[in-house]
Structure 1
Amino acid sequence: MSDTAPADWDPRSPKVLDNQIQAYDEMRHRCPVAYSDYLLWSLFRHEDVMRALTDHETFSNGASRHLSIPNAMDPPEHTPYRRIVEKYFTQEHIDEFEPVCRANTEALFDDLPPEGDIEVMSALAQPFAVRNQCAFMGWPDSLREPLRQWIGKNHRATRAGDRQAMSKIALEFDGYISEQLILRREAGEEAPPDATTRLLHEKVEGRWLSDEEIVSIIRNWTVGELGTIAASVGILIHYLAAHPELQEALRQGHENLPEAIDEILRIHAPLISNRRITTRAVTIGGREIPAGERLSVIWASANRDEDVFGDPDEFQPQRNRDNNLLYGAGLHVCPGAPLARLELQVFMETLLAKVRHIELSPDTTPERAQFPASGFASLPVRVQRG
């Protein structure tokens, strides 16, 4: 381990936390492979991140301290679990969920005032993510608020590096899901045919999934879904409010909406990073990294690399589409991408149809989220309903 490696930066300094995107841009130029006491090694360039994503023999996903299926697994262990997870995000399942997602989204907008100021994260982003996650998994409405609060507690414990608190919070989540599994087992053939019930009937290598494995799979879905979808909604609304010409072009159908969503989220990433661990000594970006070292692939920087995208703030969805790492790359590309894309498209279609104009509030400044979260902690905007 790098016990004696000098720190190249401080990921928890006020300057970094106040504007993560800007700070990572600076690191990409100053020290693209950097060491810190908090994140250990971090990769900022698109080229280096792609290398870590595609060379799983050198950069292992087994960087989690607890069971994490299939995110923290490598082939061949990863392969059968990945096959199970992918079945839940087929086009058939996405099409089946679309009307439910649309109804949830329209209900949220119908509750908005006809005009005036709203706080996006609490009024739209978080409720949107929680409602749709509960609906997709078949969970009761009573879980919405506990899950919303759980995500906040998880982020705070992760940022503080408080492993005792993180373990306690993980057990809290496990309790929510274990209760849902018990209810479905007790219901027997009367259990609802939802995603949670279907997981009880999955086998891996000839045996039933254990409850621990099911909870781990669901935890990965839920953390990714709630945190990044809520962050994505805030980022999308902020960008449209700051770019009224694009807002109107999308409303009039003059831009491809799915491509625009992906490009906005390239410019401002909803997910900051993922972890890897080196299986052998490696030289990357001119730095010597020993075996067994933990590192972070910084999506929020790699997707703004000038060597790949030119001006990182220039809105060029078609030009940047093929190199966009919004949903990752390689063996661990996000299996839930089809669901995320559906949800964000439905949200934006509903926003553009039901809101005539949206702008940043002139009275209150947005508050940026801090690592490990991205986007905004609070986002006041002014809306005019159609």
Structure 2
Amino acid sequence: MSRVPDQVFVEDWDPKDSSVLRDQISAYDNMRRRCPVAHSEAMHWSLFRHADVVRALRDPRTYSNEVSTHLSVPNGIDPPLHSDYRAIIDPYFSRERIDAFEPVCREIAEGLIGKLPIDRAVEVMSELAQPFALKAQSAFLDWPVHLHEPLRQWTMRNREATLAQDPVATAAVAQEFDGYIRDLLETRRQAATPSDDVTSRLLRERIRGRLLTDEEIVSILRNWTVGELTTIAACVGILVHYLAEHPSVQQQLRQMPTALPTAIDEVLRIHPPLLTSRRKTTRPVTVGGKFMAAGSRVTLMWASANRDERAFDAPDEFQLDRNPDENLLYGLGIHVCPGAPLARLELRVIMEELLAYTEWFSPQPNQPPVRAMYPASGYFETWVALG
């Protein structure tokens, strides 16, 4: 049998080029219009169009999620095992648990916002977004207060490793986090009285007749915590910055606070907090006239798909009456984000409290925001004045 020659690719773009990193969302918009299925050394195949991304999300048999060399539960697991993990994980984000957590979440938000000064500029990420994400996550998991500072420091080191694009530092940071979790598991095991907090409950969960391994529990808690400490913080920064820049929208929500859940999803569609996710083809497939062999690595470009003109008329405009089913903020299909109910609660509560505490907030013209860089989105710094 003759060997099929290796495919030679023409690189359509460079995702790490400085012009892309300066404004990732605009760069992805341009790629969607110019080359909606593109190849690059860094991202392999990238799908920019909403329809192409949705097709991939709805076809997990063709687009596998098992792309990492490290265990990633549940988002890095394919069916049928994926369903078994989701059956364990989804109840942690039930309506009853989320409703019960709301008073705790609101107390955290009130405590942080009540300390914000009205007489000077506030750096949103360090003074509100990151502390809120850290405290809310720790409270939801019932983690000890003494972990707050190590986790805060860990978040900073994770950001520095990401900015430096240093794989050795990134691996070390990941190992450090896993150490925190393993120590916590051992503490929970040694407790004289069994607890009903999330970590303790996970120690008692069973899958296919056996207890979850420590590696599986660490992976679950890593996914929840990294998502909280980075993505929720990014969302808060994006939301505050957007409303500061768009006083008419801010005023609309002050007058109509019941619209906040829809408005939050819409703002985060316009400026997505997550840029990409990865897949791997299990069979040959052709998308947009481009052939991808089995085993091809594919990057789904969330930050482009959610701004596609074919799915969202005038995608840069804030519109409260869009079809929510088209918004891919929390994904779609079997891998839709299990923590979406918690995220929606936290973002609604923090924005309700900020709008109630202030009469207005606006950008600081002499302190421009510092955009986050791939793989992060949102801002590393964004300043507002409160009134």
* Alignment-derived partner of residue 44 in structure 2: 40
Which residue identity is paired with 2:226?
Answer: V
TM-fit CA distance, 1:255:
6.1
Q: 2-side partners of 1:234 and 1:320: how far apart?
A: 25
SS at match of 1:41: strand
CA distance in 2, matches of 1:75, 1:173: 28
Matched-pair contact (CA < 8 Å) for 2:118–2:385:
no
Tell me if 1:361 matches 2:364.
Answer: yes
**Percent same amino acid at aligned positions?**
57
Distance 2:166 2:295 in 1: 22
Matched, 1:95 2:95: no
Q: Which runs of 5+ in 1 are unaligned?
A: none
1:298 aligned residue: 301
Inter-partner Cα distance in structure 1 for 2:46 and 2:62: 15
**If the length of structure 1 is used for normalisation, what is the TM-score?**
0.96
Does the Cα contact within 8 Å between 2:257 and 2:352 map onto a contact in 1? Answer: no
Compared with structure 1, are the counterparts of its residues 4 and 165 closer, same or farther at alpha carbon in structure 2 (3 Å cutoff)? farther
1:235/1:375 contact within 8 Å kept = yes
Q: Which residue of 1 aligns with 2:234?
A: 231
Cα deviation per residue 1:87-121 (whole Å; 9 max; x = unaligned)? 10000110111111000000001111133201000
In structure 1, what is the equivalent of residue 373 of structure 2? 370
Question: Between Structure 1 and Structure 2, how many residues are aligned?
Answer: 383
C-alpha contact (below 8 Å) 1:199/1:214 kept by paired residues: yes
Alignment of 1:124-163 (within 5 A): 124-158=128-162, 162-163=166-167
**Counterpart secondary structure, 2:252:** helix
Q: Which ranges of 4 or more aligned residues in structure 1 deviate by more than 4 Å?
A: 158-161
Q: Secondary structure at the match of 1:309?
A: coil
- For residues 61 and 161 of structure 1, the distance between their equivalents in structure 2, rounded to whole angstroms, comes to 23
Ranges in structure 2 where 5+ consecutive residues have no aligned partner: none
Q: Give the C-alpha shift of residue 160 in structure 1.
A: 5.2
Q: CA deviation at 1:141?
A: 2.1
Aligned equivalent of 2:254: 251
**Which residue in 2 is equivalent to 1:340?**
343
Superposed CA RMSD in Å reads: 1.6
SS in structure 1 opposite 2:322?
helix
Q: Alignment partner of 2:359: what SS? A: strand
Going from structure 1 to structure 2, the CA distance change for 1:66 and 1:33 (only over 3 Å counts) comes to same
Deviations 1:9-66 (A, max 9, x none): 1111111111111010000001111111111111110001001101111100001110
What is the aligned counterpart of 2:220 among 207, 217, 220? 217
Query: Does the CA contact (< 8 Å) of 1:263 and 1:320 recur in 2?
Result: no
Instruction: Provide the rounded CA distance (Å) in 2 between the counterparts of 1:185 and 1:6.
Output: 54
Residues 161/114 of structure 1: CA separation in 2 closer, same or farther (3 Å cut): closer
TM value normalised by structure 2? 0.96
Q: Does 1:207 align with 2:210?
A: yes
Equivalent AA in structure 2 for residue 368 of structure 1: R
Matches of 1:273 and 1:9 in 2, distance apart?
16
SS in 1 for 2:380: strand
Mapped partners of 2:29, 2:87: distance in 1 = 36
Equivalent position of 1:104 in the other structure: 108
Matched, 1:168 2:172: yes
Q: 1:86: which partner in 2?
A: 90
